[in-house]
Amino acid sequence: MKRLILACAIVGLSSAALADTGSAAASTPAAAPAPAVPAALSSNPAQVGYSIGFLTGKANMQKLPDMDIESYISGFRDAYAGKPGALTEEQMKSVLTDFQKKMADAEAAKAKQEASDNAAKSSAYLAQNGKKAGVTTTASGLQYEVVSVGKGAKPKSTDKVKVNYEGRLIDGTLFDSSIQRGEPASFELDQVIAGWTEGLQLMPVGSKFKFTIPPSLGYGEQGAGPIPPNSVLVFDVELLDILKPDAPDDSKSAK
């Protein structure tokens, strides 16, 4: 129980206070004047208590929108007063374990539905995109468009390459870009997603291609970071060079 309460306080202070305060400062040229402090919060202990309570509530309101706040306050007061709990600690553990299971089940159901919805969207998008002029679909399902063709050699799956690229979801969301970072990426072709391993081998050095990668050749049902499950990935790629095996690995992106 102590660990749960402490975690709530820490989450509130770190994510809500520091992150929100930082983003507000970055986006606001001049800070608005602070509101007058209510008389009830004139003392430092009162301000500390209110701040912890407010930020804990702010940090948890999204994940626990249906919390019974009055019961929360009652339990908090009883604990601080040293009173015996209205529930035994065993009962509390059982209640919270059941609650966590329900939350996990709800998250799993949501993720399953999202994966199903994305799979349908991805299939429809690939079917439509494959009909466009200039789009070639390989046996694996990879779709590519030739923007320009270079005069260099084509890499093998065991080669290390240097590229510039941008990756987007089908709604246009940019999730990765060596161009924005201002530095090309280099990696071994057999260490990245299958769509990249196949697609880069079609490109002579100096070429620019557009890849439309189905989920089966990307991150599949699991997704990765900002990439939802069963997502089509759209990459604009420029192959800059084939590197020697001992060349430094500049980036883990696109893996």
As annotated, the active-site residues are 165, 175-176, 193, 219, 235
Judge whether 92 and 85 are in contact, CB under 8 Å. yes
Q: Which residues of 177-203 are buried (b: 16+ CB within 10 A; e: fewer)?
A: bbeeeeebbbbbbeebbbbbbbbbebb
Torsion of CA 3, 9, 13, 16, to 10 degrees: 100
Residue with tokens 């309460």: 5
CA–CA dist 143, 210 (Å, integer): 8
Q: What angle do CA 11, 15, 18 make, to 5 degrees?
A: 125
Instruction: List CB contacts of 53: < 8 A, sequence separation 6 or more.
Output: none
Q: In angstroms, rounded to a whole number, what is the distance separating the alpha carbons of residues 245 and 161? A: 9
